[in-house]
């Protein structure tokens, strides 16, 4: 491509031209037949915007607050693995770009720069994404490191009891990118020269027994607790979430919710936020497009905790649609990786700026000067009556 990119999609092609095929496929690919991968994009196209005119849009304010953190626009950087495969500075470059855009970066536990390196390289608000390993002590240690180094929330990814079948990676014999945070911690040496196959590594390390299973609250010394217990009223909480809660005082978000049933359980389990996500269509093929289930989750949550969404967000209008259907913000995964591969830190900055500019125009042309002005009535889905 000879001309400069004018939208986020242009970065995909630039990245394809620049990256070794194995790495491009790792970033771009989805699970099995990639039905969900296509659907994540196409489902946005089936939602129309209902613009309102003759509203004063001479000033547009895209700023918003997520878990108490003020950001310039409701567009966050999703946790994705292996940024050094795209660019030699890896997550350090991404974090600086997030800081420049005044947004939140969610660092993947499987980053190629460490929790500590990213913390010292920039002043972006950072959340830390976690899986729960069979070795719980390792998960607890990562959480403690993140908390000590100023990360502001823990994002527990719940959709990966096993790794989805990403067939391009299987064909390419893709190995797990080096994981800086796990150096010296895992018996499976994910950082060895030979590496380990993605699936082997994931399936041997991640705890597939994680569940919503509840247990009575066992340790409470409050008079109130004993009083209620004596009346036969006992509190039940999901023990795995409780365990994570016991390791940190940070807010916990669950990433990977796609149904109202799980959204209700997450609220009951006391988490602080939900990310509607199908892992960028890399886990279960034929999982629904995230935008198509957002409203179901939002209704179940009833405004008690923030709901965020990722998957297929490529345009400012996509951000607008997600907000209209009840998301507080969106996350972007691949566009950041493609920006990083194409032009390093500057590429990620441009990607974030492009989406912000497009959102600003969408808001102006729809009659929404502020984020809170974007409402359900600004979109029409296929399920809406005319
Ligand atoms: C991811 N994603 C992801 N999610 C997570 O919780 N932990 C991780 O380590 C990763 N790693 C990862 C690597 C790559 C290459 C991709 C593309 C994605 C999923 C990610 O957080 C997010 O859910 C999706 O990327 C969002 O979809 P889009 O924006 O890529 O369409």
What pLDDT was estimated at residue 186?
Answer: 77
With respect to residue 2, please indicate whether it lies within any of the assigned structural domains.
no
The residue ranges of the chain whose pLDDT is under 50 are: 219
Complex prediction ipTM: 1.00
What pLDDT was estimated at residue 230?
Answer: 74
What pLDDT was estimated at residue 225?
Answer: 64
| pLDDT, tens only, 33-76 | 999 999 999 999 999 999 999 999 999 999 999 999 999 999 99
**158 in a labelled binding site:** no
Ligand 1 centre from 300 Cα, in Å? 25
Which residues participate in catalysis according to the annotation?
Answer: 279
Cα 13 from chain centre: 23
With respect to residue 188, please indicate whether it lies within any of the assigned structural domains.
no
**312 in a labelled binding site:** yes
Q: Distance between CA 298 and CA 244 in Å, rounded?
A: 24
* Domain around 23: 8-170+209-378
Ligand 1 centre from 51 Cα, in Å? 32
With respect to residue 194, please indicate whether it lies within any of the assigned structural domains.
no
Q: Ligand 1 within 6 A of 40 CB?
A: yes
Distances, alpha carbon 236 to alpha carbons 187, 242, 269, in Å: 35, 10, 9
Ligand 1 centre from 227 Cα, in Å? 46
27, 146, 196, 340: CA torsion to nearest 10? 30
With respect to residue 183, please indicate whether it lies within any of the assigned structural domains.
no
With respect to residue 198, please indicate whether it lies within any of the assigned structural domains.
no
Q: Ligand 1 within 6 A of 315 CB?
A: no
Name the residue with the closest Cα to ligand 1, atom 6: 157
Q: Ligand 1 within 6 A of 169 CB?
A: no
With respect to residue 121, please indicate whether it lies within any of the assigned structural domains.
yes
- The total number of structural domains in the chain stands at 1
What pLDDT was estimated at residue 191?
Answer: 58
Q: Can you give the CATH number for the domain in which 304 is found?
A: 3.20.20.70
**200 in a labelled binding site:** no
**65 in a labelled binding site:** no
What pLDDT was estimated at residue 139?
Answer: 97
Q: Ligand 1 within 6 A of 66 CB?
A: no
Q: What are the E-state strand segments in the chain? A: 48-49, 64-66, 69-71, 75-77, 104-107, 125-130, 154-157, 214-216, 236-238, 252-257, 273-276, 307-310, 329-332, 379-380
With respect to residue 203, please indicate whether it lies within any of the assigned structural domains.
no
Nearest Cα to 353, choosing from 7, 70, 78? 7
What pLDDT was estimated at residue 201?
Answer: 80
Name the residue with the closest Cα to ligand 1, atom 5: 79
Ligand 1 centre from 211 Cα, in Å? 22
Q: Among the atoms of ligand 1, which is closest to the Cα of residue 310?
A: 26
Q: Ligand 1 within 6 A of 313 CB?
A: yes
């Amino acid at each position: 491509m000879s001309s400069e990119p004018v939208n986020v999609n242009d970065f995909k092609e630039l990245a394809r031209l620049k990256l070794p095929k194995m790495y491009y496929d790792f970033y771009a690919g989805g699970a099995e037949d990639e039905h969900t991968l296509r659907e994540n994009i196409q489902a946005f196209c089936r939602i129309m915007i209902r613009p309102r005119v003759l509203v004063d849009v001479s000033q547009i304010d895209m700023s918003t607050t997520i878990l108490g953190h003020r950001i310039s626009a409701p567009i966050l950087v999703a946790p994705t693995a292996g940024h050094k495969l795209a660019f030699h500075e890896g997550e350090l470059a991404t974090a600086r770009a997030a800081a420049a855009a005044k947004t939140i970066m969610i660092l993947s536990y499987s980053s190629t720069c460490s929790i500590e390196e990213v913390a010292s390289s920039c002043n972006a608000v950072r959340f830390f994404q976690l899986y729960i390993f069979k070795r719980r002590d390792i998960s607890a240690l990562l959480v403690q490191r993140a908390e000590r180094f100023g990360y502001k929330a823990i994002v527990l990814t719940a959709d990966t009891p096993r790794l989805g079948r990403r067939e391009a990676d299987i064909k390419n014999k893709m190995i797990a990118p080096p994981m800086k945070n796990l150096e010296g911690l895992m018996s499976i040496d994910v950082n060895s020269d030979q590496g380990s196959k993605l699936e082997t590594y994931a399936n041997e390390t991640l705890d597939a027994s994680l569940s919503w299973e509840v247990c009575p609250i066992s340790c409470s010394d409050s008079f109130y607790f004993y009083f209620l217990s004596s009346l036969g009223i006992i509190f039940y909480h999901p023990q795995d979430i409780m365990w994570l809660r016991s390791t940190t005082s940070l807010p916990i978000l669950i990433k990977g919710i796609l149904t109202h049933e799980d959204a209700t359980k997450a609220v009951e389990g006391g988490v602080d936020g939900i990310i509607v996500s199908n892992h960028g269509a890399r886990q279960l093929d034929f999982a629904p497009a995230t935008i198509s289930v957002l409203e179901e989750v939002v209704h179940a949550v009833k405004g008690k905790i923030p709901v965020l969404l990722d998957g297929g967000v490529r345009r400012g209008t996509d951000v607008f649609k997600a907000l209209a259907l009840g998301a507080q913000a969106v996350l972007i995964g691949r566009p950041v990786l493609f920006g990083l591969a194409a032009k390093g830190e500057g590429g990620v900055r441009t990607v974030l700026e492009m989406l912000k500019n497009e959102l600003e125009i969408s808001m102006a042309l729809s009659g929404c000067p502020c984020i809170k002005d974007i409402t359900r009535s600004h979109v029409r889905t296929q399920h809406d009556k005319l």
